[in-house]
Amino acid sequence: MVDKLNRFKELLAEVFDLNAAAALLGWDEQTYMPKGGAEERGEALATLSRLAHIRFTSDEVGALIDDLKPMVAQLDPDSDDARLVRVVERQYRKLVKVPERWVSEFARATSVAHHAWIEARGRKDFKHFQPYLEKNVELRREYAGFFAPYQHVYDPLLDDHEPGLTTAEVQAIFDQLRPQQVALIREIAARPPVDDSFLRKPYPEQPQWDFGVEVITRFGFDWNRGRQDKSAHPFTTSFGLGDVRITTRFEEHLGTAALLSTMHEGGHALYDQGYAPSLRRTPLASGASYAVHESQSRLWENLVGRSHEFWEHFYPRFQAIFSTYLGNVSLEQFYRAINKVEPSLIRVNADEATYNLHIMLRMELEIALMEGSLSVADLPEAWNERMRDYLGLTPPDVALGVLQDVHWSGGSIGYFPTYALGNLISVQLWEKAQADIPDLRDQIRQGRFDGLLGWLRENVHRHGAKFEPQELVERATGSKIDPQPYLRYLRNKFGQIYGLLA
Ligand code: ZN
């Protein structure tokens, strides 16, 4: 058995290395690659994903799974080896259904579509992007077909991001959220608006960068195993436990954008740096799911980074650095400003109270595209209709509407719901961490985060992808993904800020 297990791990490590090489090319594509490199980079990425796919879906891996299954059945079911075989078997059974031809076609199509999207967004011209998106949707429908029969055509795509979750389960969760979030936003809209004009200034870039670096260093980001660069769209990627990279971006008209982005991506990176070393170079050295990954970024960005306690500690320094704009702004004014609720056009800048509505809109459109009840040509109008229904806004152009997100250009469908689920999980973890660490808020007031990071390492990070998202959340918090803690949190926080409790 030991020989077979070693051979199994050797093959998986090769796949891991190929994926790491592809991730490095992808990182470069979004940070430093000259525009002219797009086409050949697309080819290189297609080659690497094809090689990884061939290696992973080989008959040898299949035979080893069959041989190892009865053997690991004797082990503790929670042991690394038992979980490794189980997780790889699940991925293997899915991947062998996907032909190599599709994998390389998809890699090539999405790489070209990504650059078409950048062009189209710059020109505010949806028609330029339309044929590329049509191709991506067509490829995704073909992909779902490989997993027929299914309950819903969207299930196979959702399952790629959230193993084990179904479209029906997510719709049930969102059906609880939607009316309550809409009601809360209406109550807030009836209150006097918060003044955040002092944030909407051209804060100098270097001090913003330095402040973000200082904050995530305090959070526990390990700079010997990571770095930060600039990119148009902030993201986190890693090539192993020892090299986890984040990017950030500056916005001329929002002085806290880079800091919040750095805290967000820093939260992703703390997770990637926190997998147990025993999981190195295996498929378990990864987040449990996209939603669980997003719960980590949201937790550090919102529950910590937009909390009163956090700013009690950091505001005096932040105010001194940006005194040109903040010299006469009190901590209370600042706290209210960074938590301002206001329906807006752009998802990534949305506040905690409106964010999930942006997600529900996208998931509904994705489902319609996949079902074929909505054509790509009609997508911009369908987008604008829902923006009016949910947020009361009409995008003035497609760059501020349907073309704002990178996901569809990369063929990512089934990804968006993970953001909202991540919000829900982040508060479930936050409530449990507070119950387990009674002085957590005081620690944050003192600028100390080791207690929180230690709790996350123990309950979430070290497990990597050993458990499916529902199982991990239940182990960590005692219940499955549940919208109620998030709704409680929103009511409580924004009730105080907007005086709704009185
Ligand atoms: Zn994120």
For residue 473, the domain's CATH number is 1.10.1370.30
> What is the whole-number distance in angstroms between the Cα of residue 418 and the centre of ligand 1?
9
The answer on 171 and 114 residing in a single domain is no
Cross-strand partners of 236: 246
The DSSP secondary-structure symbol of 301 reads: I
Residue 153 in domain: no
For residue 53, which of 79, 28, 19, 76 has the smallest C-alpha distance? 19
265 a catalytic residue: yes
Q: Calculate mean pLDDT across residues 140-150.
A: 97
- Structural contact between residues 50 and 100, judged by C-beta atoms closer than 8 angstroms: yes
- Structural contact between residues 353 and 494, judged by C-beta atoms closer than 8 angstroms: yes
Q: Where are the beta strands (DSSP E) in 210-359?
A: 226-230, 236-238, 244-248
> What is the whole-number distance in angstroms between the Cα of residue 251 and the centre of ligand 1?
18
| Confidence grade of residue 2 (pLDDT, cut at 50, 70, 90) | confident
The answer on 108 and 256 residing in a single domain is no
The answer on 356 and 216 residing in a single domain is yes
Q: Calculate mean pLDDT across residues 158-187.
A: 94
Q: How does pLDDT run across 253-272, given as a tens digit for each residue?
A: 899 999 999 999 999 999 99
Residue 158 in domain: no
Residue 436 in domain: yes
The answer on 49 and 192 residing in a single domain is no
> What is the whole-number distance in angstroms between the Cα of residue 192 and the centre of ligand 1?
31
The answer on 61 and 202 residing in a single domain is no
For residue 345, which of 297, 301, 295, 403 has the smallest C-alpha distance? 403
Q: How does pLDDT run across 211-235, given as a tens digit for each residue?
A: 999 999 999 999 999 999 999 889 9
| Confidence grade of residue 39 (pLDDT, cut at 50, 70, 90) | confident
Q: How does pLDDT run across 40-92, given as a tens digit for each residue?
A: 998 899 899 889 989 999 999 999 999 999 999 999 999 999 999 999 999 99
Residue 44 in domain: yes
> What is the whole-number distance in angstroms between the Cα of residue 262 and the centre of ligand 1?
10
Q: Calculate mean pLDDT across residues 2-30.
A: 97
Residue 435: partners with Cβ closer than 8 Å, 6 or more residues away:
none
Residue 301 in domain: yes
Percent residues over pLDDT 70 in the chain:
100
Name the active-site residue from 265, 294, 366, 468.
265
For residue 196, which of 118, 150, 253 has the smallest C-alpha distance? 253
Q: Calculate mean pLDDT across residues 157-181.
A: 95
Measured over the CA atoms of residue 225, residue 248, residue 358 and residue 335, the dihedral's sign is: positive
| Confidence grade of residue 285 (pLDDT, cut at 50, 70, 90) | very high
The answer on 109 and 54 residing in a single domain is yes
> What is the whole-number distance in angstroms between the Cα of residue 174 and the centre of ligand 1?
19
Question: What pLDDT is stored for residue 352 in this prediction?
Answer: 94
> What is the whole-number distance in angstroms between the Cα of residue 269 and the centre of ligand 1?
10
The answer on 313 and 265 residing in a single domain is yes
> Does residue 501 carry a pLDDT above 80?
no
Residue 338: partners with Cβ closer than 8 Å, 6 or more residues away:
196, 199, 256, 260, 306, 311
The answer on 478 and 341 residing in a single domain is yes
Residue finishing a domain among 147, 175, 204: 147
pTM: 0.94
CA terminus-to-terminus distance, the chain: 66
Domain that holds residue 13: 2-147
Q: Calculate mean pLDDT across residues 476-502.
A: 93
The answer on 103 and 183 residing in a single domain is no
Residue 12: partners with Cβ closer than 8 Å, 6 or more residues away:
56, 61, 84, 88, 281, 282, 283
The answer on 440 and 291 residing in a single domain is yes
Residue finishing a domain among 84, 119, 147: 147
Q: Calculate mean pLDDT across residues 17-33.
A: 97
> What is the whole-number distance in angstroms between the Cα of residue 264 and the centre of ligand 1?
6
Q: At 68, which amino acid appears? A: L
Q: How many domains does the chain have?
A: 2
The answer on 324 and 178 residing in a single domain is yes
Residue 271's φ and ψ, nearest 5 degrees, are -65, -50
Question: What pLDDT is stored for residue 502 in this prediction?
Answer: 54
Cis peptide leading into residue 343 (ω within 30°): no
> Does residue 416 carry a pLDDT above 90?
yes
Question: What pLDDT is stored for residue 49 in this prediction?
Answer: 86
| Confidence grade of residue 208 (pLDDT, cut at 50, 70, 90) | very high
> What is the whole-number distance in angstroms between the Cα of residue 294 and the centre of ligand 1?
5
> What is the whole-number distance in angstroms between the Cα of residue 268 and the centre of ligand 1?
7
> What is the whole-number distance in angstroms between the Cα of residue 160 and the centre of ligand 1?
17
The answer on 182 and 114 residing in a single domain is no
H/E element, 486: helix 484-497
Cross-strand partners of 237: 245
Residue finishing a domain among 147, 176, 211: 147
> What is the whole-number distance in angstroms between the Cα of residue 235 and the centre of ligand 1?
7
| Confidence grade of residue 348 (pLDDT, cut at 50, 70, 90) | confident
Which tokens in the block code for residue 448?
């100390």
